[in-house]
Chain A
Amino acid sequence: MTGSSVLIIGAKSDIGLALAHKFAAAGHLVQLAARDAAALMATKADIELRYNAAVSIYELDILDTLSFEPFVDSLPVLPSIAICVVGLLGEQAVAEQNLSVAALILRSNFEGPALLTGLLANRFERRGSGTIVGISSVAGQRGRAANYVYGSAKAGYTAFLSGLRNRLATKNVHVLTVLPGFVRTRMTEDMDLAPRLTASPDQAAAAIFDAVATHKDVIYVKRVWQLIMAIICAIPERTFKRMRI
């Protein structure tokens, strides 16, 4: 894997940054894509200096789906690994009443990530190799009142990745779905998260790095989330609809 390139989409996020460090430290060329990518100049300098690595940065807006093909064509090398870290939690209460806010959440978490990773997967299929990593969410495993707009978009993305994996299983293209659970990032900054259920961005990056190397299909960053989600998914709908979790 050393020397191959990894594309990180949503590179300004905390998990994206941690991934950039992790892969650069392992000797990968790192391609960072984000909106307002100029803000990544200091990060580029930092990673290049720390790991003697090569880092390139690309402007990309996940809502601008028409730009995806030119973006992928513009990459000097098609990456070996593409990781989509893009996500927008948004405010559920606002999204319930405001269609454009809800649409923004749906498009940011589903439409954009699905179209872009799908496009990259096609290129990987044509080449005959590659790894797609999609950061989805445990929130996509069952809709809850607290965040179902975000959760349903993530559910869509999870299903998209699952289908992609099924389609490409015999084409030497590895598709990894990541269900992080709680991670201490900008998205969760103001939340009171149980420490035992919460991973750091570095832990998330390390788990993803290992799962790429070992060709996992679906991972939780912290094992305990597999149990939690199994329980949540096992509750009968008749009961679940009255619960507040």
Chain B
Amino acid sequence: MMLSGWGRYPQQECVLKTPRSEADLRALLSKGPLIARGNGRSYGDSAQNENATVDMRRFNRMLAFDSAAGQLIVEAGVLLKDIINCLLPRGWFPYVTPGTKLVTIGGMVAADVHGKNHHRDGSFGEFVDWIDLLCGDGEVRRCSRTQNAELFAWTLGGMGLTGVVLRVAFRLRAVESGWIRQAILPAPDLGVAMRLFEEHASATYSVAWLDCLATGAGLGRSLIMLGEHARVEELPEDRRRAPFRTPLRKVRNVPFDAPSATLNRFTVKGFNAAYYFRNARRGTQLVDWDSYFYPLDALAEWNRIYGSRGLLQFQCALPLASARAGLTELLRIIARSGQGSFLAVLKRLGPAREDSLSFPLEGYTLALDFPVSERTLALMEVLDALAVAHGGRIYLAKDGRMGAETLRASDPRVPDFLAARQHFRTSRFQSSQSERLKL
């Protein structure tokens, strides 16, 4: 069937397998190259393989929760959403969450996802205690920091190329409520935005929504959003008795693919400016966890807003030393291109994980969406080159079009990853992305 990532680009005819058991999975191993797929939320072609794309969503059972250690053991196809629904009412929240809860835990491992607290807590892998990995030889290996440690490290951020993640044990954070105390700080330009990130390095969560069409003195104009898990006594009195009861959000659908003319320089510019000025005055407020972490989940299939050709997300990370200069150049080029983007997200990242292909590195990450067109595809190449020139790298979970040379130029860990692939005999595991990137 036709498969694509969340960006709906590139689309590809793939054989989709839906195993129910480890025996089913093992049988697939002998039939040529394959890649595991979770809920299809990576943007590009990381989770598709023409020969066999293995839908892991039937491995969706939660196996055990140890409330003393906060450790949850799940099968890889469990959705983060189900975990939150199950454990938040009992006072637990994932330590690390990406911007959507509609991801599988296996996918979170494969992309070593990060969240708004990366600067303080690191990526998802920091909280993974062990992984049961189905390897190319058909054996299931328990991988942790002490057991099969090298395989464990390469699996975090390894985009499913080291094996099929079967089970994961990871730790959650104890929280007192389902509410986030959010503070919004307006930053009229990039310099102020970066200064605010550094000043608020101790905030649990920080992220900036950036108006990437603002130019000149307003280049990098953004809203920094800080967040803390609200303690019970910080809630209004009428909420204290049921601190985990938050309003149920209604999920709406995007009923059809928006015509490509909907997104243009003027509509997006207007939206971004209105968003900035409306929110800049908000100050501190309590926000429910769902609206705070997953604003876009309330709009099912929001990817259709970008039209039938799909969307490209550009996300790079730039090291601290060159971040200011790199971001300035990137933003100038993006603003000049006038290519629409609703969402531009800027975020301070903490230290990198050196022994894996994990994306984050100490510095700043910028992410923004573009509708697919020849022009935006060409623009991406320019942005790639700029990011690489500033010592940056591109997030594989968002990529569906980067060249193999760009990857090698941006990431010195590639040769070690290839060596590990050879050592652990992982050639069975291939995605369209890994073929394109010659991984």
Interface residues of A (CB under 8 A from B): 42-43, 45-46, 49-50, 186, 189
The winner among B18, B61, B86 for most chain A CB atoms within 10 A is B61
Residue of B nearest to A49 (CB): B62
Chain A residue contacts of B60, Cβ below 8 A: 46
Chain B residue contacts of A42, Cβ below 8 A: 61, 63, 75
Contact of A186 among B20, B65, B75, B82 (CB under 8 A): B20
Chain A residue contacts of B82, Cβ below 8 A: 50
Measured in the bound complex, the distance between the Cα atoms of B72 and A50 in whole Å is 12
Is A45 in contact with B64, judged by CB distance below 8 angstroms?
yes
What is the number of residues of chain B that contact chain A, defined by CB distance less than 8 Å? 11
Q: What is the minimal beta-carbon distance from A192 to any residue of chain B, in angstroms?
A: 12
Question: Would you give 22 A-B contacts (Cβ < 8 Å), ordered by A?
Answer: A42-B61, A42-B63, A42-B75, A43-B61, A45-B61, A45-B62, A45-B63, A45-B64, A46-B60, A46-B61, A46-B62, A46-B63, A49-B62, A49-B63, A49-B64, A49-B65, A49-B86, A50-B62, A50-B82, A50-B86, A186-B20, A189-B18
Q: What is the minimal beta-carbon distance from B24 to any residue of chain A, in angstroms?
A: 11
Chain A residue contacts of B86, Cβ below 8 A: 49-50
Interface residue SS majority, chain A: helix
Chain A residue contacts of B61, Cβ below 8 A: 42-43, 45-46
Q: What is the minimal beta-carbon distance from A37 to any residue of chain B, in angstroms?
A: 15
Measured in the bound complex, the distance between the Cα atoms of B163 and A114 in whole Å is 46
Q: What is the minimal beta-carbon distance from A205 to any residue of chain B, in angstroms?
A: 15
A-facing residues in B1-42 (Cβ within 8 Å): 18, 20
Measured in the bound complex, the distance between the Cα atoms of B64 and A189 in whole Å is 30
A-facing residues in B351-407 (Cβ within 8 Å): none
Chain B residue contacts of A45, Cβ below 8 A: 61-64
Q: What is the minimal beta-carbon distance from A11 to any residue of chain B, in angstroms?
A: 14
Chain A residue contacts of B18, Cβ below 8 A: 189
Measured in the bound complex, the distance between the Cα atoms of B63 and A222 in whole Å is 33
Measured in the bound complex, the distance between the Cα atoms of B324 and A216 in whole Å is 67
Q: What is the minimal beta-carbon distance from A197 to any residue of chain B, in angstroms?
A: 19
Residue of A nearest to B18 (CB): A189
Chain A residue contacts of B62, Cβ below 8 A: 45-46, 49-50
Measured in the bound complex, the distance between the Cα atoms of B172 and A141 in whole Å is 52
Chain A residue contacts of B63, Cβ below 8 A: 42, 45-46, 49
Chain B residue contacts of A50, Cβ below 8 A: 62, 82, 86
Measured in the bound complex, the distance between the Cα atoms of B6 and A48 in whole Å is 32
Q: What is the minimal beta-carbon distance from A182 to any residue of chain B, in angstroms?
A: 17
A-facing residues in B45-87 (Cβ within 8 Å): 60-65, 75, 82, 86
Chain A residue contacts of B64, Cβ below 8 A: 45, 49
Give 10 closest A-B pairs by Cβ, nearest first. Answer: A46-B61, A49-B62, A42-B61, A50-B86, A46-B62, A45-B63, A49-B65, A42-B63, A45-B64, A50-B62
